[in-house]
Chain A
């Protein structure tokens, strides 16, 4: 069964600093991988997704993630944090085979951006 581990439930960065949110997955077959963002009192919004095309995936708001099969990782990065990036971020995995379209989510990482 697939699973997701997000390292660090809270990450704090200064405005303008690099953002790095870590996600490791476990899957017996090639996965689809996703990053979602949740702003306070809102639903989840898709940031980016990996579906076996390019290993470096660019998303909205300047975020990107790199799929590394050898490390079973899909870390989310942004070169320069902005105050508006403060939110909770969720990594999710889904099987690319077998007809299952369920997502399994990590427990989330709350990003704080300090002025």
Chain B
């Protein structure tokens, strides 16, 4: 069955370190998205991609970057982790406006 996976599921890191969160989908979707979920804010879009070599900034992109070298993967990199980036991160893929979500990565920045 097609799926979308995220790794790691839990991560603790220190302020200033570079962190990469992986997202892999086997749906063969062109569209992929990264969100963060924080209490009181719902889901906020960080970055998104409509295909290989295409990346776009979302509403909360500062301090994050993505790259899309193939259809299946959209890794999210925190260049220099900050405590404000402690959150739960969700990756999604989809088409025709419908999105399928991964299980999430809980990131703690100390």
A42–B37 alpha-carbon span in the complex (Å): 12
Secondary structure at the A interface, as helix, strand, loop or mixed, is loop
Q: How does the 8 Å CB contact mask read for B90-106 relative to A, with 1 for contact and 0 for none?
A: 10101111111111100
Least CB distance, A96 to chain B, in whole angstroms: 7
Q: Is the CB of A49 within 8 A of B98?
A: yes
Given known A43-B101, A43-B104, A94-B97, contact A101–B31 (CB-CB < 8 A): yes
Q: Is the CB of A107 within 8 A of B94?
A: no
Given known A42-B103, A44-B90, contact A101–B42 (CB-CB < 8 A): no
Q: Which 10 pairs across A and B sit closest by C-beta, in order of nearness?
A: A43-B101, A107-B42, A44-B101, A94-B97, A105-B43, A32-B97, A105-B42, A43-B103, A108-B42, A101-B97
| B residues with CB within 8 A of A | 31, 33, 40-45, 48, 50, 58, 90, 92, 94-104
